[in-house]
Structure 1
Amino acid sequence: MHTPGRSTLAVVATLAVGALALTACGGGEAAQSGEVTLTINVFGDNFSLPDNRSIYDEYERTHPGVKIVENRSDFGTHHKNLQARLTAGNGAADLELVEVGQVAGFIGQPDSFVNFRDEGVDSTQWTDAVVARASTADKAALIGLPTDIGGLAVCYRTDLFAAAGLPTDRAAVAALWPTWESYVDTGSRFLKSAPPGVKWFDAGGHVFTGILGNSEETFYDASGKLIVDSNPAVRAAWDLSVKAIKEGQSAALPEFSPEWNTGFQRGQFATVTCPAWMMGYIQGNAAETKGKWDIAKIPGGSGNWGGSYVTVPKQGKNTKAAVELAKWLTAPEQNVKLFKTIGNFPSQQSTWKSPEVAGFTSEFFNNAPAGKIFPDSLASAPAQVVGPESGVIGNIFAAALNSVEQGKDPGEAWTRTLADIKAAAG
Structure 2
Amino acid sequence: MRDAATRRRSWLAGTGAAVAGALLLTGCGSDSSPAAAADPDAKVTLTVNLYSDFGYKELYAQYQKLHPNVTIKENRADMGAHHQNLHAHLIAGSGTADIEAIEIGQVAGFQGQAGKFVNFLDQGVDKNQWVPSKTAPASSPDGGKLFGLGTDMGGLALCYRSDLFKAAGLPTDRAAVSSLLSSWDSYFATGKQFLAKSPDKKVKWFDAGSNVFSAMVAQAPQGFYDAEGKVVAASNPAVKQTFDTVAGAIKDGESAGIAAFTPAWDTGFRKSQFATVTCPAWMSYEFKANPPADGGTWDMAAIPGGGGNWGGSYLTVPAQGKHIQAAVDLAKWLTAPEQEAWLFKNKGFFPSDQALWTSPDIADLKDPLFNNAPTGKTFSDSAKNLSPQPIGPHGADIGNVFANGLLSVEQGKATGDKAWANSLAEIANISQ
Q: State the TM-score, normalized to the length of structure 2.
A: 0.90
1:57, distance to aligned residue in structure 2 (A): 1.4
Identity %: 50
1:424 equivalent in structure 2: 430
Question: SS at 1:147's partner residue?
Answer: strand
Q: Distance in 1 between matches of 2:99 and 2:387?
A: 29
What is residue 340 of structure 2 aligned with on the other side?
335
- Pairwise CA RMSD: 2.6
Give the counterpart of 1:215 among 220, 234, 237.
Answer: 220
Structure-2 residue corresponding to 1:39: 47
Distance 2:101 2:276 in 1: 29
- Note closer, same or farther for the CA distance 1:46–1:289 as it changes in structure 2 (3 Å cut): farther
2:303 maps to what in 1? 298
Structure-2 residue corresponding to 1:5: 11
SS at match of 1:153: strand
CA distance in 2, matches of 1:275, 1:409: 29
Q: Unmatched 5+ residue regions in structure 2?
A: 1-6
Number of paired residues? 419
2:257–2:410 Cα contact (<8 Å) kept: yes
Which of 121, 127, 143 does residue 125 from structure 2 map onto? 121
Letter in 1 for 2:118: V
* Amino acid across the alignment from 1:58: Q
Residue 378 in structure 1 maps to residue 386 in structure 2: no
Q: Superposition pairs for residues 155-194 of structure 1, below 5 Å?
A: 155-194=159-198
**Are residues 321 and 287 of structure 1, via their aligned partners in 2, closer, same or farther at CA, if it must alter by over 3 Å?**
farther
**Aligned twin of 2:3:** none
Q: 2:63 aligns with which of 53, 59, 66?
A: 59
> Map of 1:64-83 to 2, 5 A cutoff?
64-83=68-87
Deviations 1:27-65 (A, max 9, x none): 5389599422211121222225xxxx5321111111112
**Which amino acid in the other structure matches residue 47 of structure 1?**
G
Corresponding residue for residue 86 of structure 1: 90
**Whole-Å separation in 1 of the counterparts to 2:262 and 2:36:** 39
Match of 2:4?
Answer: none
The CA deviation at 1:230 is 0.9
Tell me, yes or no, if the aligned pair for 2:11 and 2:311 is still in contact at 8 Å: no
Equivalent position SS for 2:102: strand
Judging changes above 3 Å, is the alpha-carbon distance between structure 1 residues 284 and 43 closer, same or farther for their aligned structure 2 residues?
Answer: farther
Is 1:389 matched with 2:394?
Answer: yes
Question: Residue 199 of structure 1 contacts residue 270 of structure 1 at CA under 8 Å; is this kept in 2?
Answer: yes
Structure 1 residues 80, 128: CA separation in 2 closer, same or farther (over 3 Å shift)? Answer: same
CA distance in 2, matches of 1:167, 1:254: 28
Aligned: 1:203 with 2:208: yes
2:416 paired residue among 410, 415, 419:
410
The aligned amino acid for 1:339 is F
SS of the residue 2:367 aligns to: coil
Shift of 1:25: 4.1
Deviation at residue 351 of structure 1 after TM alignment: 1.0
Partner of 2:28, secondary structure, is helix
Partners of 1:289 and 1:360 in 2: CA distance = 27
CA positional deviation for 1:167:
1.6
SS in structure 2 at match of 1:251 = coil
Contact kept, 8 Å, 1:302 with 1:377, in 2: the verdict is yes
AA aligned opposite 1:43: Y
Task: Report the TM-score, using the length of structure 1 for normalisation.
Answer: 0.91
- The residue type equivalent to 1:396 in the other structure is V
Shift in Å at residue 290 of structure 1?
8.2
Q: Quick check: 1:181–1:240 contact (8 Å CA) kept in 2?
A: no
Alignment of 1:242-391 (within 5 A): 242-286=247-291, 292-391=297-396
Deviation at 1:85, TM superposition (A): 2.2
